[in-house]
Structure 1
Amino acid sequence: MTLSTTLEACVRNELRYAVEGIESANQSEKILGQRIVAVITFRHCLQSVRQNQATEAHFTPLIDALQQTLTLGGLKANSRHTMVNALSSLCRRTKYLPRHVKVSASSAATICLGPHPYITHLPNKDVFHRVPHQGRFVQIERYRAKSDAQESNTEQLIHDIIIRFNYSNEGLLPFLGAHQDVERDFRTTYLISHHRQSSGIRDYTFNRRGVRSLSLLKALLKALDFLHSNGIAHGRLKPSEVVVDDAGRARLLGLGLGVLASADGGVSLAVADCVPLGEYMWMSPELLRAHRDGELLVPTAAGDIYSFALLAYEIFTGKNSFPEIGSHRSAIIGIQKLFKAVVDNDERPTKPAEGSTAYTHHGMTDDIWNMIQDCWAPEPAERPSARDILNRPFMIVPDS
């Protein structure tokens, strides 16, 4: 879908909502005024695009108007999907974040540069917990840029911010916005979320007896169902992306790659360089095959379900899915063995023995094992959707 077509759709949507608001008097004067301003902004930029005269001066107010429209709500799923896609594309093109997304946090840099007692080091970012901010505690994420992939890292970070700000769900850690010490300088960008007292899912399940593992899976499936129903593939589902809050509910830390399917059948973000080597263990056979063949890696909902199966296996067994491969001294040889095992030989983790802690401590059943096997089926089309799994009889358990 071209920018011109997207802007025309935005104009139609905003005009319709403004007219409906006036006719039914169900919107305040302030909201109606904001929608009218958005229409004028969209029309002005549309005219410039058609005349090939669009400059950064046109796109900055357009980006703010698009985000304002999304924040006001009332959009149907398809319209929202189109608008978020356009917003992400424009923000990555201009390296500009909407003003609605920006959070004032003057202490962020000081906190993240100085000593901090609650910090988690992940492969691509540092996460600071329990940071005081405006009378409450927040969580701050500081990404570590790689000099050899600065541009792709910046685009992924911008995309992550836009997607997380515009899609919220109880299965996702609530996202407040982003702070930049210097506008458009993404080396000093901090992502700020509500702080929830939480544990990594590995620590939570490995160190406790009687953990309601099925409830953890149900919460994760609800989060995945929300993402997939909005056309979003996570693409990086693994233990470090999941926490368990103080109420015992599993939540996704973020949206992973947050890949949005675009209207023309492609994806909104090229992800060929966005999958680190350390994530091979969680990649589906089709992604491993694509990487081996030098093709573009495009995360999908079916790929998320495969990763979910491996995560479920770890939750119930406390074991790595492929320990003999993951512990290999040579990463290159380990990856080659993984390709051979998963792609060529369709090997998967073995079923835990009855009487093992998977059954006695974590509630493994034959129904759950069959579900795991269905989810890591070799062919993507053979895997169930998150919603299909949630509708299985054994998944009808009280929320934790």
Structure 2
Amino acid sequence: MTSNPDWTMFLSSSRALQASSRDQGTQDHAMVAFVGNLLPIVSHKASYQRLLQQRGGQAQLLIDNLQLALQAHRWVDAQKETVLKATLRLSKVTGLLPTSYRLPEIEVTRRVYEAPCVDIYRGAVGGRVVCLKKYRSCYLDAAGIHELMSREAVIWANHPHTGILPFLGVYQNGSGVFDSGLYLVSPFMEHGTITEFLASFPGVDRRLLLKDIADAISFLHHHHIIHADIKGANVLVSSGGRACLADLGFARLTEAAVLTWTSIQSTVCLGTVPWQAPELLQVQRSGGYVVPTAASDVYALGCLAYEIFTNKPPFWNIREGAHSATRAYQIIKAVVKYDERPQKPSNGSRAFRLHGLTEEVWSFMAETWRRDPQLRPSAAEVS
């Protein structure tokens, strides 16, 4: 039987880590002590639950130190995933985020994009143009919105990659814990989404853009993170012409990285229907849980490739112009019942003549759309 971890020693090491911030050598020593006391806590059910029961200043101190440890300690992957999960859970139950995420006053200039559940604003801080993302009440209450944004912030902040939109921090325009004025902040991408970029620069290397995103997805999957909403609208292009994956709002840890007593399932309809894998559409059709996987991400990556090479969304030809709900139903029926996939362009189309699509690339895209998820390639194989 596993003995109880020393809770007093854990709290003492947490306070020591906070006090060591001014001296790198002292902080390195304090970090080793904190991590050494932390791992037994998050590996022991009763102690882990006690960690999640902390509130107020003690909870903020722990969240700050967990974030510091995630960024500064040299982790074994499995250990980092466990600590990341603890940070996510503590943030969820307390409504708190690491203080290191907080940004100073930002001038919000104008709204540049509006969707059913999210608004995107342009702003400025310290002479830098930034993008601010704010969720609106759609199917969630204020607490649910805060939970969604907090989870996205923690996952995003701890997984920097050249193919992922940089995370700058959060801006709180208000004082309430679940205040609706919470924004996620990133650099403003002047080129916009990948579909907008390709409309303005049709002659770019589209295979390179696809590789940028495949590399980013492979990176996330290596860390047991599923994006769950891959589509052209969630891919931005930098000033240097490289693609960056954005919108980790639906991202989740795979069950392999989740302690059994803290697992999360979702009844939310994730992603967007034309990009969703058959197994997800089948579950939605029957009213069950939607649990995205690495294989469903790869299916969506194939649909993104279709967008990149054809300048059209997948299943654009099904009931074009129909009401969105009617069209979604027809796509679900086509994919689930009749096993249809995005329509292949003709050999004389612009996709083949001008955009870099080849039979080899199309065959590989078709592999990502296999009905059996286990037969699809991995994101690493695509990249």
- Pair in the same fold by TM > 0.5: yes
Q: Counterparts of 2:86 and 2:358 in 1: how far apart (Å)?
A: 45
CA shift for structure 1 position 121: 2.3
Q: SS at the partner of 1:323? A: coil
Matches within 5 A, 1:366-385: 366-385=359-378
Deviates more, 1:298-307 or 1:38-47: 38-47
Q: Is the 8 A contact 1:41 1:61 kept in 2?
A: no
Q: Counterparts of 1:50 and 1:216 in 2: how far apart (Å)?
A: 42
Matches within 5 A, 1:253-292: 253-261=246-254, 262-264=257-259, 268-273=263-268, 275=270, 279-292=272-285
Q: Does residue 32 in structure 1 map to residue 29 in structure 2?
A: yes
Match of 1:161 among 131, 153, 157: 153
Match of 2:242 among 239, 249, 257: 249
Q: Is the 8 A contact 2:106 2:171 kept in 1?
A: no
Q: Counterparts of 1:124 and 1:296 in 2: how far apart (Å)?
A: 21
Distance 1:150 1:283, change over 3 A: farther
Q: Is the 8 A contact 1:224 1:386 kept in 2?
A: yes
CA RMSD of aligned residues (A): 3.1
2:329 maps to what in 1?
336
CA shift for structure 1 position 197: 3.1
1:124 maps to what in 2?
117
Q: SS at the partner of 2:318? A: helix
Q: Counterparts of 1:107 and 1:256 in 2: how far apart (Å)?
A: 22
Letter in 2 for 1:72: A
Q: Counterparts of 1:41 and 1:266 in 2: how far apart (Å)?
A: 18
Q: Does residue 318 in structure 1 map to residue 317 in structure 2?
A: no
Q: SS at the partner of 1:370? A: helix
Q: Counterparts of 2:334 and 2:29 in 1: how far apart (Å)?
A: 59
CA shift for structure 1 position 142: 1.8
Letter in 2 for 1:90: L
CA shift for structure 1 position 52: 6.1
Q: Is the 8 A contact 2:314 2:342 kept in 1?
A: yes
Distance 1:265 1:52, change over 3 A: closer
Q: Does residue 193 in structure 1 map to residue 192 in structure 2?
A: no
Provide TM-score, normalisation by structure 1. Answer: 0.81
Q: Counterparts of 1:309 and 1:44 in 2: how far apart (Å)?
A: 41
Distance 1:148 1:203, change over 3 A: closer
CA shift for structure 1 position 358: 0.4
Q: Counterparts of 2:60 and 2:347 in 1: how far apart (Å)?
A: 60
Deviates more, 1:369-378 or 1:53-62: 53-62
1:64 maps to what in 2?
64
Deviates more, 1:367-376 or 1:143-152: 143-152
Q: Counterparts of 1:345 and 1:36 in 2: how far apart (Å)?
A: 58
2:90 maps to what in 1?
90
Q: Is the 8 A contact 2:232 2:304 kept in 1?
A: yes
Letter in 2 for 1:275: L
Q: Counterparts of 1:266 and 1:359 in 2: how far apart (Å)?
A: 51
2:144 maps to what in 1?
152
Unpaired stretches in structure 1, ≥5 consecutive residues: 19-26, 391-400
Provide TM-score, normalisation by structure 2. Answer: 0.85
Q: Counterparts of 1:50 and 1:148 in 2: how far apart (Å)?
A: 28
- Per-residue CA deviations over 1:72-128 (Å, capped at 9, x if unaligned) read 131121111111111101111111112122222x235xx2xxx52x72223432222
Q: Counterparts of 2:287 and 2:98 in 1: how far apart (Å)?
A: 35
Q: Counterparts of 1:314 and 1:50 in 2: how far apart (Å)?
A: 45
Q: Is the 8 A contact 1:285 1:342 kept in 2?
A: yes
Distance 1:324 1:352, change over 3 A: closer
2:215 maps to what in 1?
222
Q: SS at the partner of 1:325? A: coil
Q: Counterparts of 2:49 and 2:67 in 1: how far apart (Å)?
A: 24
Q: SS at the partner of 2:134? A: strand
CA shift for structure 1 position 135: 3.2
- Per-residue CA deviations over 1:22-77 (Å, capped at 9, x if unaligned) read xxxxx622332355466678889989948969441443322222112112131121
2:20 maps to what in 1?
none
Q: Is the 8 A contact 2:82 2:259 kept in 1?
A: no
Q: Is the 8 A contact 1:89 1:268 kept in 2?
A: no
Q: Counterparts of 2:67 and 2:359 in 1: how far apart (Å)?
A: 47
Letter in 1 for 2:368: C
Letter in 2 for 1:306: Y
2:76 maps to what in 1?
76
Aligned length: 363
Letter in 2 for 1:95: G
Q: Counterparts of 1:52 and 1:215 in 2: how far apart (Å)?
A: 48
Q: Does residue 142 in structure 1 map to residue 139 in structure 2?
A: no
Letter in 1 for 2:202: R
